[in-house]
Structure 1
Amino acid sequence: MSVLTALARAQAVASGRAQPIATVRHLHVHDHPLVLIPLAMAGEANAPLAALAGTDPAKPELLVVTQPRDRDERFRFADRLGQILVAYADSFTDQTEDVPVERGKDVRTRYADAPQLWVPNPAGVDFLRLFGRSTRFRTVDGEHPVPVSVPLLGRWLTFFANSAEVPGSSLLLTAVQALGLHWTTGQSGAEDAQLGVLLAWIEEGAEAARAVENGPVAGPATDPDFDNKVLAPLIERAAPELSEVLRSLLMPTWDRMWRTLNLLRRLPAGERVGRRWEGDKDAYTAFSQYVAEGGAPQPRRDGAVAAAARLQRLESAASRYAVQRAFDDPLVLAEYRLSGAAFAGTVTLAAPDRVDDSGKRPVLRPRIMVRTTEQVRVEPGTSLTSPTRPSQKARVVSVTRVDPAAGRPAPAAIPPSTEPDATPASASVTLTAAPVSSSASGVVEFDVLLELSGGMGRKLVAEPGSVPAVGERLIFTTLSEEFRRGGALPDPSETPWTHGGPPVYEESPA
């Protein structure tokens, strides 16, 4: 738990109301999502009991397995669920859009939108993953045929479950994780896993949360008392009222799911949320076209090279998602300021037309001086980025502590670098400066000299507004959205037999 989150939890306890820990929404909320609330039979591995699904809050469809141990009933359930999910997924294939590639030299086509699936909690994602694995390899002919929609359901569920592992993806989302990303309560993380309690903390407060602690569960597991006292007798005598009992059990969660969506929609979307959704549309387009072309089901398990490549993609996505959240949200970025990975300050000096002519050709390298009252924990030579100018790099030239007792005025010129590898610059430099008053409160200040590169155009004169002006308030951080190329992986045929490659046979002596 971070420092700011711990503080927000303490404030939630004191006030009895959940506290916001984000100023923007960090995920995409679809205008027409598919909400799915699965319910499984207790004591049976991935035995579906019921599901409530639909895209209209007023018209949920209830699917029930009256005898969860009956194989035919399970596949009738899977058939209907497959019809709903596949029809929803296919409904986004009627409109396409052109996306420029290779810096506008070419275009590629993808679907203009993508589906979005919502479940109440992470356990619902695990249920869908297991149910997808148990259905995607079923055959539509042979000894035990199943409807065509069943293996299609399994492949789509596997696709959505795999996408849920990708940080920043919004194809499959859980309500409790989405709420926990933007609010914190005064209770434990285990208690936050109950959707009704978490939502009550946010909407009404702690008193309302206590009132719903023993309410209907959000699935996929059922309550043991409900299983023993209500469910078991109904299943044993095949009671016709079973459907209505399950509907009454699931409807409170159904209502809370849509209230969660409405609550999230009130938050403004972060600047980079749309960019991540474009990646989701790419993933959806690729998989949808793969299925339409008759591609094989996803393997039961990845090979060594495929697993390593997937892990590499997930690590890259996690790093990129953390940076994007920090750049979108000042509250998230504040965590990095507390840890010393970022600092905020005001530009006190600027040399926007400084040119470095020590190399084969002159290059534009402006310098600025930033004064900050925050502890600066970066060494000279460190590359920094400002969220307001993410394409521009700022190399730390020097960090100087300002003595508050001396109260020295701002220098008349940006001092030359004292680094051994410092490069000389053109003598023709226009300097702008602002007077800096001394710190009367005794707060320690730091002057950070930065050299800028990138994001200023291709000429020796910076484009207007590309160089921070004197008096501008900025945040600099070691975080960067810069693309990082992954490591090279071998071909599967070049790996040893222990990792899926061909076995090695030694020739016996003649």
Structure 2
Amino acid sequence: MAEYLNVVARIRALQRGEAVPIVAQRQVVIQPHAFIVTMLSMAGEDTSVHAVAIGRFGEAPTIKVVADPRRRDDQYALLRWLLPHFETYYSQCLTEGTFPQLWVSSEGALGHLDTLADRLRFTDDPEVQRLGVLWTYAGERSPVAGQQALISATAALRAHYATGQQEAEDEHLGSLLTWIDPPRGRDIFTAVAMAEDQPMGAKTDPWFDANELQPAVELFNQARKAEDGASKNFHETRIQQLLEGVIRPIYSATQRAIAILSASRWQPNSALDPLAEQEAAAFAQFMDARSQGYHLPYRDSPKAAAFKIVARERAVANVEAGYLRHDRAAREKAVESGTVLRATLVDMHKVKLASWVFEYPVVLTSHQDSLHLRAGDEFWTLDEPKLSIRITAVERRGPFSWVSAMVEDGRRTIMRLEKGTVLDLGPKAPDWGGQAREFQQMGLRLTNSPWTHSDTVPGSAPSNRLRPNDLLAAVERLV
């Protein structure tokens, strides 16, 4: 059902000829000192940086272009030029007790930066290695639910708006911004088609590469080999101008995306506060480990990989639970999909089992069509008052579901509620400190590596039980 809401929003955007907001609250933390990173790679050289534009939110870009990134010395010179900018920014964030936030134009640009971070860590140049390490913080955080360190402008905008085009087309930042703020008096699809002519990722246009950029690079290399300084400088300047014409609009579009999301129309979202705190803690931990000399490995050990999986699973659960409590759009989507129970309190009792021992059965009704309930499930209220229930039975009666449950927490509270009270129930509140406890428990369990991660295979342990003559018949009797 929640998918239908997205479809309806896109149909509405198509009818209006402009994007429609799908939330009222801001969905991402926006650091006032956000750092915009726009990079272009050379065609066929995915791990290169042909041009880069960097700057803080609200500032003009600082642009650096290398004529031919295939020349290692020139490429490393550009990367060494970048290092002080990021070291200064990271040091400032660490001193202020906050975290750095890098903005890129799209998911493709995000993947480009992540790939560079992974490759640069293992170069033979200490300064380039250092840059790769700093970028690795953002790259490793990017797949973690609720992370705020590396933000794609298209992903952030899609969390706030629905357009009248396909979701894959929303990855072009120019077309997405055109839907959000379409030019007046012009057909939306004509405007979008014009916007799509401008590259907005980490790659330049193939026609531009073949007809303008490649000839200029070739002439530059010919002049360099001929040691013709004047011609070399001319073609180097030409390449600079060509790539600046591509990279400046991408940088400006990213700035524009942040400005749209910083507008006062978006209401505060309390679910973002713990995410910012978690990000600051993760950043401080990352920098502390680097200062103590711990190196980032090329591949994680089985133990480290297990810890990262646990951390990501915990993050998913905490982020979902946090948004359900503080984000109204997320709550309504969960109600439509049936993962949140919105029910009316019909009856409650206090039953004495023994001296000073009581239980509190309750009955609730809901008209939701697609509930995901079964006996034994536990639900917690998403608002005040705080209480939890354990489902004992679910019965469908006409258009209503009747839910019987036992109160687990908040037993005194339930008796003060009036019949007819509507409750929203869902997963338990976020446990941001639970990750440390899980790590400690896993550390004890993984003191000795399991046989699945060692070279020793345990011996066979044959069963002493008698084997039936007809194994198939014995299995069928179990059904």
TM (norm. structure 1) is: 0.75
Q: Distance in 2 between matches of 1:41 and 1:492?
A: 47
Question: Any conservation in 2 of the 1:350–1:469 contact (CA below 8 Å)?
Answer: no
The 5 A counterparts of 1:329-408 are 329-349=327-347, 354=350, 358=353, 362=357, 368-375=362-369, 377=371, 378-389=373-384, 392-399=387-394
Equivalent position of 2:111 in the other structure: 126
Equivalent position of 1:176 in the other structure: 154
The 5 A counterparts of 1:159-170 are 159-170=137-148
Question: Any conservation in 2 of the 1:138–1:151 contact (CA below 8 Å)?
Answer: yes
Question: Any conservation in 2 of the 1:350–1:367 contact (CA below 8 Å)?
Answer: yes
Change (3 A) 1:320 1:466: farther
Q: Distance in 2 between matches of 1:204 and 1:318?
A: 35
1:224 paired to 2:209: no
Task: Find 1:150's aligned residue among 111, 128, 147.
Answer: 128
1:202 paired to 2:180: yes
Equivalent position of 1:73 in the other structure: 74
Change (3 A) 1:312 1:15: same
CA positional deviation for 1:37: 0.7
CA positional deviation for 1:466: 9.8
CA positional deviation for 1:55: 0.7
Equivalent position of 2:261 in the other structure: 264
CA positional deviation for 1:309: 2.7
Root-mean-square deviation (Å): 3.2
Task: Find 2:302's aligned residue among 301, 304, 316.
Answer: 304
Change (3 A) 1:200 1:479: farther
CA positional deviation for 1:71: 0.5
SS of 1:51's equivalent? Answer: strand
Residue identity in the other structure for 1:384: F
Unaligned ranges ≥5, structure 1: 96-110, 140-145, 404-443, 505-510
Residue identity in the other structure for 1:394: I
Q: Percent identity?
A: 23
Residue identity in the other structure for 1:133: D
Change (3 A) 1:46 1:256: same
Q: Distance in 1 between matches of 2:208 and 2:255?
A: 25
Change (3 A) 1:368 1:57: same
Question: Any conservation in 2 of the 1:28–1:269 contact (CA below 8 Å)?
Answer: no
Residue identity in the other structure for 2:143: E
Change (3 A) 1:13 1:466: farther
Residue identity in the other structure for 1:259: R
Residue identity in the other structure for 2:203: A
Residue identity in the other structure for 1:372: S
Question: Any conservation in 2 of the 1:37–1:218 contact (CA below 8 Å)?
Answer: no
CA positional deviation for 1:217: 1.1
Q: Distance in 1 between matches of 2:300 and 2:416?
A: 48
1:475 paired to 2:472: no
Change (3 A) 1:390 1:274: farther
Residue identity in the other structure for 2:389: A
CA positional deviation for 1:76: 0.8
Question: Any conservation in 2 of the 1:136–1:152 contact (CA below 8 Å)?
Answer: yes
CA positional deviation for 1:281: 0.8
Question: Any conservation in 2 of the 1:118–1:175 contact (CA below 8 Å)?
Answer: yes
Task: Find 2:167's aligned residue among 162, 183, 189.
Answer: 189
CA positional deviation for 1:163: 0.1
Equivalent position of 1:142 in the other structure: none
CA positional deviation for 1:467: 5.5
Q: Distance in 1 between matches of 2:401 and 2:346?
A: 12
Question: Any conservation in 1 of the 2:381–2:387 contact (CA below 8 Å)?
Answer: yes
Question: Any conservation in 2 of the 1:120–1:219 contact (CA below 8 Å)?
Answer: yes
Q: Distance in 1 between matches of 2:190 and 2:245?
A: 21
SS of 2:387's equivalent? Answer: strand
Q: Distance in 1 between matches of 2:380 and 2:123?
A: 51
Cα offsets for 1:249-283 (capped at 9, x unmatched): 11222121122112222322422211111111111
CA positional deviation for 1:213: 3.4
1:53 paired to 2:54: yes
Residue identity in the other structure for 2:59: A
The 5 A counterparts of 1:271-290 are 271-290=270-289
SS of 1:204's equivalent? Answer: coil
Equivalent position of 2:92 in the other structure: 91
SS of 2:95's equivalent? Answer: coil
SS of 1:287's equivalent? Answer: helix
1:117 paired to 2:102: yes
CA positional deviation for 1:204: 2.2
Residue identity in the other structure for 1:226: F
Residue identity in the other structure for 1:14: Q
Residue identity in the other structure for 1:281: A
SS of 2:50's equivalent? Answer: strand
SS of 1:285's equivalent? Answer: helix
Q: Distance in 1 between matches of 2:131 and 2:354?
A: 61
Residue identity in the other structure for 2:16: S
Change (3 A) 1:467 1:233: farther
Q: Distance in 2 between matches of 1:361 and 1:65?
A: 79
Change (3 A) 1:244 1:361: farther
Residue identity in the other structure for 2:7: A
Q: Distance in 1 between matches of 2:130 and 2:342?
A: 52
Cα offsets for 1:65-86 (capped at 9, x unmatched): 1111110111111111111112
Residue identity in the other structure for 1:251: R
SS of 2:293's equivalent? Answer: coil
CA positional deviation for 1:446: 4.5
Cα offsets for 1:353-404 (capped at 9, x unmatched): x4x65368546x555544433347434443222221495312235556667x
Aligned residues: 430
Change (3 A) 1:20 1:350: farther
Task: Find 2:196's aligned residue among 194, 198, 214.
Answer: 214
CA positional deviation for 1:126: 1.8
Q: Distance in 2 between matches of 1:492 and 1:217?
A: 51
Question: Any conservation in 1 of the 2:52–2:64 contact (CA below 8 Å)?
Answer: yes
SS of 1:235's equivalent? Answer: helix
